[in-house]
Structures are given as C-alpha cells and as structure tokens.
Amino acid sequence: MKLSQLVSEYIAFKHALGVRFQTEARILKAFSRAMGDVESIEVEPSAVHAFLAGKGVVTGFWYEKFGVLARFYRFLMIRNYVDSIPLLKTMPKRPEPMKPYIYTLEELRRLLAATDRLQSPWSPLRAHTFHTLILTLYSTGLRIGEALSLTLADVNLLESLIMVRSGKFFKTRLVPIGPQLTETLRSYVQRRRKLPCPQGEDSAFFATRSGNALTYDQARKVFPILRKLAGIYREKEARYQPRVHDIRHTMAVHRLVAWYREGADVQRLLPLLSTYLGHLDIAGTQRYLSFIPELRDEACRRFEHYALREVEDED
C-alpha cells in the first residue's frame, strides 16, 4: 500500500479516537511528501534519516519527529503493513532544553514601536493587528495559538472577558482582562469590523485584510522582522533567537516579580497564575518561571527578611 494512503489512514484513526493530532499530522504529511509516491515497504532508512536530520543540528523538534514516526510505524507493524521499522537504532544526544527569553519592559516597548513599520496600503490594518496582538499576549499570557484562534464573539468587551475555547489540553477558560487592554481591544475591533467578516461573529478577531484568521506561520514570519527592527537578540552563539511565544513566559515572570515586590503571598497566588495561564497544574507554570536576576534578587530579599525575623524571634 502507498505510504501516503497509510498516513491518511493513521491520521483518520487518531481523529476518530478524539485526538487533536494537528502537529503530528503535519509532520506525517511532510514525511509522506519527502518520501515521494512510494509503497510503504520501499521507504529506505537513509531517506528517513535525511527527513529527521533536516538542514541543521539536532533540536528538540528532531525528537518530536522521531517520536511521531516511531508511533506511526508501530501502528503499521501491528497491522502487518510493514515488517520492519526504518528508524535509527542509535539516538543522537538530546540537546539542552531551550531557555525562554524574558523580554524587558523596554524591549517590549521597542517591539510595539516596531509594528509601525508594518504599515502598508495593501494591508491597512496589519500594523495595528500586530501591535494589538503583542499587547494581548503580554497582558493575558495567552499562547500564540490561542490568541490567533479568537473570534469576534470570544472577546467580550462589555464584561472585559476573553473566552479561550479548546485551548491546550482541550480546556476552555475565561480570561479576565484589565481596563487598559479592554480599551486597546475596543479600538482595534472598531477597525477590524471594517474588514470582511466571512463567518459573522465567528470570524477571526486577529485577521488579515481578507477577514480570514492571521495564521501562526504568518505571525512566525513577521515576528523576527519586528525583533530585528527592535534590536533584540540573544548572544551570537545562541541556537535560538527570542520567539513570540517567549512573551507568554515574560508575562509569567514579570507577574511573579511584581508579587514579590508587593510583598504578596507568592505561594498562595501561584495556583491562581497557573489557572490563568491554562496549565493543568503548578508544575506547568514553574517551567515558565525562568530564574532571571530580578526574580533572584526579589527571592533573596524575601528570604533575608524571613531569616532576620526568625533570628529576632529567637532572641
């Protein structure tokens, strides 16, 4: 049987089980295209290795692709479509986990200012769209995919609420927003409604000039342009440059620093932040809280205050 047919069958099987399977489906379709119009038994290990290797060094995505292919080929083996798995027996060394980039407030201001350079007569709302998108990501901590999936109906400006439907882990949640972001979104939506709304109130909130949703690929291509215009870079030897998703990490870290400076009970508030971000548990949030100097200093000050109080109580 053709490899492309088996890929389609496997994706349909996963969808029938209720699995979202979006990223995995993209990987498998890309794999099928890379292998060409071949029978499943004709796939050579060298071709699979070339697909996994891509054009650069081994990254976390290499392991993600490997895992998807390994599960796909186990599916084929169980159903006797193939009698061997054309994957590497020896795994390359897993790279160090990518460390999120935590933007400073000044860098965020420069990013926002850089959106003015996106102004174009062919896409009159483009600059305003990215300006509003960045503010929304920082103010709410939404995942980029969640923000781009918002519809006009999901943004309730009267009650200052955003409905995030079927986010990660298939959870739907309400995200309260402050008065400043509410006004920012109100200003944006007035101009957005002048664009086409193909699905009425279910049309995309962040849209292109056609009224269709701004896609992740479009956002991913534009963001490095904004980052370069804003002059934001990691050190030269870094494997990754700052990403749009790092704005979410930044929001979480900045919120924690603010709580420390306010003298708030951080341990009590951390579960609230976890719920706000749409995490299953606190462990998911803790991965976002990179140990930046400001956070370290505030934590040290809190500990010193606690330690001195304990010493005084003993005296």
pLDDT at residue 60, rounded to an integer: 75
CB-based contact 271:282 (threshold 8 Å): yes
Which pTM was predicted?
Answer: 0.70
pLDDT at residue 306, rounded to an integer: 46
Helix axes 105-114, 246-262, angle to 10 degrees: 140
Asked if pLDDT for residue 23 goes beyond 80, the answer is yes
Catalytic residue set:
143, 168, 245, 248, 279, 288
The residue with tokens 């709410």 is 140
Section 46-68 average pLDDT: 83
Name the pLDDT band for 237 (thresholds 50, 70, 90).
low
Least Cα distance to 5 among 22, 24, 28, 34 occurs for: 28
Name the pLDDT band for 73 (thresholds 50, 70, 90).
very high
* Per-chain mean pLDDT for the chain: 85
In this structure, of 49-53, 142-146, 154-158, 273-277, the range with the lowest mean pLDDT score is 273-277
In this structure, of 20-34, 62-76, 275-289, the range with the lowest mean pLDDT score is 275-289
Section 50-79 average pLDDT: 86
- Pairwise pLDDT comparison (202 vs 52), residue with the higher score: 202
- Pairwise pLDDT comparison (208 vs 299), residue with the higher score: 208
Name the pLDDT band for 22 (thresholds 50, 70, 90).
confident
126: which 2 tokens?
Answer: 């483009």
pLDDT at residue 294, rounded to an integer: 62
Percentage of the chain surpassing pLDDT 70? 83
What whole-number distance in Å separates Cα of residue 196 and Cα of residue 143?
Answer: 25
What whole-number distance in Å separates Cα of residue 220 and Cα of residue 199?
Answer: 25
Maximum Cα interatomic distance, the chain, rounded to a whole number of Å: 81
What whole-number distance in Å separates Cα of residue 22 and Cα of residue 115?
Answer: 30
